[in-house]
Amino acid sequence: MSLHAVWCQAHHNMRLGPRLTSFILLDKAWRFRSSVFDTELHWVASGLNGRETDRWDNKKTTNHLVIHEGGRVVGYSRIVEGREIGDFMFGDSFFQRFLRDQRGVVLEILAQNHYACVEVSRFAIRAGFRAKPEVANRLVFEIAEWCVSHRKRWLMMIVTADLLSALAKRGVDDSCFIVKVQYGDQGWFAILDLRVTIPKLHP
Percentage above 90 pLDDT, the chain = 46
The CA-atom distances, in angstroms, between 99 and each of 105, 130, 154, 174, 182 are 10, 29, 17, 19, 10
pTM for the full model? 0.88
d(CA 201, CA 137): 10
User: What is the side-by-side strand order in the sheet with 4-8?
Assistant: 4-8, 62-69, 72-81, 117-125, 154-159, 187-193, 177-183
- Using 50 as the pLDDT threshold, list the residues of the chain that sit under it: 14-18
**Structural domains of the chain in order of their starting residue, each with its CATH number:** 4-201 (3.40.630.30)
d(CA 76, CA 138): 10
pLDDT of residue 187: 86
- Which amino acid, residue 198? I
